[in-house]
């Protein structure tokens, strides 16, 4: 059986204000279904850049990227959007909740994205299930301003899980949280891997990394 994702020789050069900088210089990465992987690395080593390539926010300059055997390295944006919706869930360091919406509506926005249509009743059921998975179903009607940081990040995790993705991408999800709530957030994400969801966790916290099945390190544009 082929792995969930397989990256071979991925390179990425970013052209900023200064001269172009090679951020990724031949990254190889394989993640199986339901597998959890931690990625460590100095600040600025390119971890977020790598996640943005895996999550199809951006495309690599070179190399191959297979998902379920399909090459996504040069996939057009329209198809990438459909895959982001169907296959990936994203959690960021900042929570990116919309303040004018309730927790439930924030989770539902991943369902109201123009990719297929779920009737309101089904949406509600999926949203409550996702909120329940992260343990805050009782906060469904609250707006973000009324929630603690840990609760807000769990709403974000529920938003990432609501479409039952095959891979969860988390970019320093505990960076803005204290240790205890951070642990809680890592735990709800790890629990998702028990239901068959893959997880790539970018973190600076070695304790969190140790909870993953595999720990990799990014430096000099190469993953080891």
Partner 1 sequence: MIRLSGRFRSALIIGGQGIRSRKLRTFLSMISLFLGVLAVVTVQAGAETAKTLRLADLELHIGKDGTRQMYIPSMPDAMDAALTTVAGKADAVGVMGYQAIIGEPNVVPINQGAAPFDNTDGGYYGPPMQMDCNPMTGECRPIKDEQAAQPTRGQAVELVLQGLTGDIRQFRPFRPVAGNWLDFSGDPSYSPRLVLNKEAAKGFTRYQIPAEMRVEGATANPTPRIVGVVDDGNSQPTAYVRVDEMRNWMPKTTANQMYGPGMQLLFAPTAGETEALVVRKITALGVSRDMLHVETINARKDIAEELAIIRWIFLGMAGLVLLIGVAGILNVGLATVGERVEEFALRRAVGTPRSLLAGIVLAETLLTGLLTAAAAIGLGVVAIDVGAGLFGSRVPQLQDLTFPWQAGVAGVIAGLVAGLLGGLIPAIRAARIPIATVMRA
Ligand X SMILES: Nc1ncnc2c1ncn2[C@@H]1O[C@H](COP(=O)(O)OP(=O)(O)O)[C@@H](O)[C@H]1O
Please give the Cα distance from 25 to 20 (Å, whole number).
13
Planar angle of CA 6, 12, 17, nearest 5 degrees: 155
The interface with partner 1 within residues 55-114 (CB under 8 A) comprises 55, 57-58, 77-78, 81-86, 90, 92-94, 96, 98, 100-101, 105, 109-110, 112-114
**Encoded tokens for 71:** 């090459």
Please identify, using beta-carbon distances, which residue of 32 and 59 lies nearer to partner 1. Answer: 59
Closest CA to 79 of 51, 107, 59, 109: 59
Task: Work out how close the CB of 23 gets to ligand X at its nearest, in angstroms, rounded to a whole number.
Answer: 5
Q: Please report which helix (H) or strand (E) contains residue 91, including its range.
A: strand 88-91
Q: Least distance from C-beta 125 to partner 1, angstroms?
A: 17
Residues 6+ apart with CB under 8 A from 132: none
Which does residue 105 bind out of ligand X, Mg ion, partner 1, none, counting CB within 5 to 8 angstroms by kind? partner 1
Q: In whole angstroms, how close is the CB of 48 to Mg ion at the nearest point?
A: 3
Give CA angle at 54 (22, 171), nearest 5°. Answer: 85
Residue from 4, 46, 111, 159 touching ligand X (CB under 6 A): that is 46
Q: Which of 179, 177, 199, 178 is nearest to 188 (CA)?
A: 199
Binding mask 35-74 for Mg ion (x = CB under 5 A): -------------x--------------------------
Range 116-145, binding partner 1 (CB under 8 A)? 116-117
User: Burial level of 203, CB count in 10 A (0-12/13-18/19+)?
Assistant: buried
Size, binding site for Mg ion by CB under 5 A? 1
Q: What, of Mg ion, partner 1, ligand X, none, does residue 45 touch, CB below 5 to 8 Å by kind?
A: ligand X
Give the residues lining the site for ligand X (CB under 6 A): 14, 16, 23, 41, 43-49
């Amino acid at each position: 059986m082929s792995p969930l994702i397989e990256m071979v020789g991925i390179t990425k050069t970013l052209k900023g204000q200064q001269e172009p900088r090679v951020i990724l210089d031949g990254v190889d990465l394989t993640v199986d279904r339901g597998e959890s992987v931690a990625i460590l690395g100095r600040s600025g080593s390119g971890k977020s850049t790598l996640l943005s390539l895996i999550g199809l926010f951006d495309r690599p300059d070179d190399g191959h990227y297979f998902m379920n055997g399909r090459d996504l390295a040069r996939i057009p944006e329209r198809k990438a959007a459909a895959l982001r919706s169907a296959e990936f869930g994203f959690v960021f360091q900042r929570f990116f909740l919309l303040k004018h919406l309730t927790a439930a509506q924030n989770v539902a926005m991943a369902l109201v994205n123009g990719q297929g249509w779920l009737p309101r009743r089904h949406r509600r059921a999926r949203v409550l299930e996702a909120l329940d998975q992260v343990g805050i179903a009782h906060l469904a009607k609250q707006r973000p301003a009324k929630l603690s940081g840990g609760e807000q990040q769990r709403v974000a995790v529920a938003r990432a899980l609501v479409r039952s993705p095959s891979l969860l991408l988390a970019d320093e999800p505990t960076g803005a949280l204290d240790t205890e709530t951070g642990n809680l957030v890592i735990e709800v994400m790890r629990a998702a891997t028990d239901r068959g969801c893959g997880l790539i966790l970018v973190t600076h916290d070695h304790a969190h990394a140790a909870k993953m099945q595999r720990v990799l390190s990014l430096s000099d544009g190469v993953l080891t």
